Amino acid sequence: MRERIRRIFPDHWSFVLGEICLYSFVVLLITGVYLSLYFHPSMREVRYDGSYAPLRGELVSEAFDSTMHISFDVRGGLLVRQAHHWAALVFVAALLVHMMRVFFTGAFRRPRELTWIVGFLLLILGMFAGLTGYDLPDDLLSGTGLAVVNGTLLSLPIVGTYISMFLFGGEFPGTDLVARFNVIHVLLIPGLMVGLLVVHVFLILRHRHTQYPGPGRSENNVVGRSAKVRAVKSAGVFFLVAGAIFLIAAVAQINPVWSYGPYRADQVSAGSQPDWYMGVADGLLRVMPGWEVTVWGHTLALDNLIPLTTGVGLFLALGAYPFVEAWVTGDKRDRHLLDRPRNQPVRTALGVAWLSFYAVALIGAANDIIAIRLHVAVESVTWAVRIGLFVVPCAAYALTKRCALGLQRRDRDIVLHGRETGIIKRLPHGEFVEVHAPLSQERLHLLTQHDQYKPIGTGPGADSGDPATTVRVTGKLRARLSRAFYGEGAQITKPTAEEYQQITGGRRH
């Protein structure tokens, strides 16, 4: 325990993102327990007789009736309910941004591959927790979203109808959905997430925190604050996060189910969009053409199947990337110093391209709202999104890569020629030049401490597979990826010690 208490934690603002994830999850658990005391997960119809006059006397489900009761008749119920919803949005947003920070800085490298997988699973579970909780009130908006979910499930070949019948307890919308989603949302997913969080904290304590490069920082030490100081700051962050969530919940309305009304299978809520983290799936569905093919007497609904496959592939690519990079580099060392994003141009460009694809699909989920607000045809917005899904990620990749290479080139020039001082000097022959001052040792270390991988070659030694054919194919693929990541045009060679001594020595002379 004494050794654990004396542990040092790096002090950088980006590490607060992980704490926001943790503490928003704590707010979710506390508010979720409060709501579960009053919520009735049943689709049995009752007559509403609550405080909201416009719906009084209407036939509603017990789930909708208890949601209305929480919102209007339970002391503090609406505040807690809105805080629960906002905390879910904050949790998923902070988790995605935290994962992007890990991605761009290379914090997923050995020995933290398992930590990355745990974080990735937390992101997926958080999204499904939001989806299942979003559908519990049994209002018209959530029912419209469930109809989309049911259509996507039915598009799955062979198993789609069985999954739909099991999930809904019969033909959509069924009678058991709310009860089953309540078990998943309240018991199954939170239990898995708590277990993953425990594993995540254990892995952090075992492998220690990563840290950004700087003076006195190496792969063998940690520079930062003590555990006691970090614990006090962390407690302050908890109260700030909880206070911010409840402040937003108090002033910003979200999911007013009384405006939507109870769900009816013959009605659809116009202008409906899911929460932002599920918007990528909805956007892909909206912009996909209505394609269907018949194979061996069976109809494949490609307008649902292709968006589903694309969305799953998008997230699987994010989860698998660390293992692809490790295979390409062949680096087996433990890495505790983080990368500056500019020093990994291809990785940074791929991350920005991934985010741009997500953003364009998210825009597609609001094509009807955009068309109404901007007074344009919804077909025009849909076609713009379709084209953007292919053009924008490629443009974002190229632009980000060029920016990273430009920053690398600038760092190289600063190392070799020093920093600009703003002082203009006239030489004896009349030429005016700007005086450059040499960099400090700390600055030189920051700009040159990173490792630069070299492209690997092809041949049998490029892979460890047994069959000769497999070795040739995988070896060539690995070599091509290596050249794409670290070959010519993928990075700017940092100055060597000889180049630095030659130029600085000549300048001093």
The 10s digit of each residue's pLDDT in 246-301 is 999 999 999 999 999 998 888 877 777 888 998 899 999 999 998 888 887 778 88
Cα–Cα dist 55/78, whole Å: 17
**pLDDT band at residue 150 using 50, 70 and 90 as cut-offs:** confident
pLDDT of residue 463: 44
> Which of 62-71, 115-124, 225-234, 362-371 has the lowest average pLDDT?
225-234
- For the chain, the straight-line distance linking the first and the last C-alpha, in angstroms and rounded, comes to 57
pLDDT of residue 471: 64
DSSP type of residue 464: -
Residue pair 305/156 in contact by the 8 Å Cβ criterion: yes
Consecutive H or E run containing 386: helix 378-417
Residue pair 268/147 in contact by the 8 Å Cβ criterion: yes
Residue with tokens 């049911």: 150
Tell me what percent of the residues of the chain surpass a pLDDT of 90.
Answer: 61
> Does residue 352 have a pLDDT over 90?
yes
> Percent helix, strand and coil across the chain, each rounded to 5?
65, 5, 30
pLDDT of residue 9: 84
Cα–Cα dist 328/342, whole Å: 19
Contacting residues for 405 by C-beta, under 8 A, at least 6 apart: 345, 491, 492
